[in-house]
Amino acid sequence: MQNLNKFVRVAIVGPVIALFLAVVLITFTTDRFMTAQNLMNVSLQVSAVAIAAIGGTMVILTGGIDLSPGSSVALTTCVLAVLVKLMGLPLLVGILVVLVMGAAMGALNGLLSAYGRIPTFIATLATLSVYRGLAFLITKGTPIFNISPGLDRVFYDRLFGIPLPFYYVLVLYVMTYVFLRHTSIGRAIYAVGGNESAARLSGIQVNRIRMVAFVLAGFTASISGLLIAARLNSGSPNYGVGLELQAIAAAVIGGASLTGGIGNIISTLFGALTVAVVQNGLNLNAVPAAWQNITLGLIIVLAVSLDMWRADLGRGLSRIFSFERSEEK
């Protein structure tokens, strides 16, 4: 559809500019950024955020928000470590179990918010605390190292010379793109976020759609957790702190509207790249962690205010257009 394509192209401009600005800025501050090795590092690091941002975007599209992925990641790494290292289960079984658990964690978020009618912000704030608490509980607070020799390979192996995480990101984003754009459920996700009441009266099972978004969000969070566990070959209740904010930042920089119904997954990928590049730049310039946190916060504020200003602008225009000019004579 030409117009939708045009829309996607326009929507993608913002995050691409953001990414470009970030790259230019950092290239000027350090000459270590534009090296092949560093760019490879950034790309590898971005994979965890980018994948968690898929679920984050879907929940935002339904008009909700998911604050739990960082904790889901921590619990995922810990459960994997306990199952494989301490209980001696085969690695593949461990991976399958944590993926299912990811979906279950998402389902709990969905149950609480869709059926329990707890606002998503509160429901996932609660599970943020619960999931990380569980991670501390099962590890007694200490990281578990060297989970399995095979686990490294999930992250570090290459196919045709390119590290595997590239493929994960590519495949998951293509699948999500097709899912959101070319399936009924994907369309319903946009409808629920656009106008919940109209969606219900159009015959859409609103709660079920919310569940789908959250289950997928939990699932992608656990994939993200797997990558982090594989990169460090360990599980720790302290992993993934702040990941939820990075995922939300990726979606919002990508132009997803926090009121729901507007956003696209390709832009989210550029948003995730922007977040990763900025973080990498701060690392290279030896900016202390405290300031990195502050910077991420400021970026989120900036991205959301841009979204709001855009909405105001849109409303202003629509007010002008709607009542006298509506017929486009």
Partner 1 sequence: MSGQASPLWQLVDLSKAFPGVQALDRVSLPIERGQIHALLGENGSGKTTLAKCLAGAHQPESGQMLLEGTPVILEHPLDAVAHGVATIYQEFSLVPSLTVAENIFLGRPLKRPRTGLVDWERMRRHTNLLLQQLSIEIDPQAVVGQLSVAEQQLVEIAKAMSLESSLLIMDEPTAALGLTETRRLHELIRRLAGQGKAILYISHRLDEVFQIADRVTVLKDGRRVDTRPIGELEMNDVVRMMIGLDIEHHYPKEFNSRAALCLEVEELSTENGINGVTFDIRVGEVFGLGGMVGAGRTEIAKALYGVDRPTAGSVRLYGRPVRFNSPTQAVAAGVGLVPENRKADGLFFNFQGPANITISRLKGLVRRIFLSLGEERRVGAEYVHKLSITPTALERTVQFLSGGNQQKVVIARWLYSQARLLILDEPTQGVDIGAKLEVYRVINELTRQGISILLISSDYPELLAMSDRIAVVRDGRILHIAPAKELSEYELLSIASGADSQNGRAGASARPPRDQE
8 A C-beta contact, residue 57 and residue 214:
no
- Binding residue for partner 1 (CB under 8 A) from 3, 37, 149, 160? 3
Kindly write out the interface string for residues 261-290 of this chain, putting x where it contacts partner 1 by CB under 8 A and - elsewhere. xx----------------------------
CB neighbour list of residue 137: distance below 8 Å, 6 or more residues apart: none
Which of 4, 87 has the CB closer to partner 1? 4
- Binding status of residue 31 toward partner 1 by CB under 8 A: no
Identify which of residues 140 and 182 has a Cβ nearer to partner 1 in the complex: 182
Contacts (Cβ under 8 Å, ≥6 apart) of 56:
66, 69, 217, 244, 247, 248, 250, 251, 268
Where b means 16+ CB within 10 Å and e means fewer, 60-77 reads bbbbbbbbbbbbbbbbbb
* Residues 158-192 as b or e (16 or more Cβ within 10 Å = b): eeeeebbbbebbeebbeebbebbeeeeebebbbbb
Show contacts with partner 1 in window 246-265 (CB under 8 A): 261-262
Nearest CB to partner 1, comparing residues 170 and 317 = 317
Least separation, in Å, of the C-beta of 201 and partner 1? 5
Closest Cα partner for 284 from 35, 7, 11, 17? 35
**Which lies closer to partner 1 via its Cβ, residue 32 or residue 200?**
200
Q: Residue 325 CB, nearest distance to partner 1 (Å)?
A: 5
**166-205 mask for partner 1 (x: CB under 8 A)?**
------------x--xxxx--xx-xx-xxx-xxxxxxxxx
Residues of this chain that bind partner 1 (CB under 8 A): 1, 3-4, 178, 181-184, 187-188, 190-191, 193-195, 197-205, 261-262, 318, 320-329
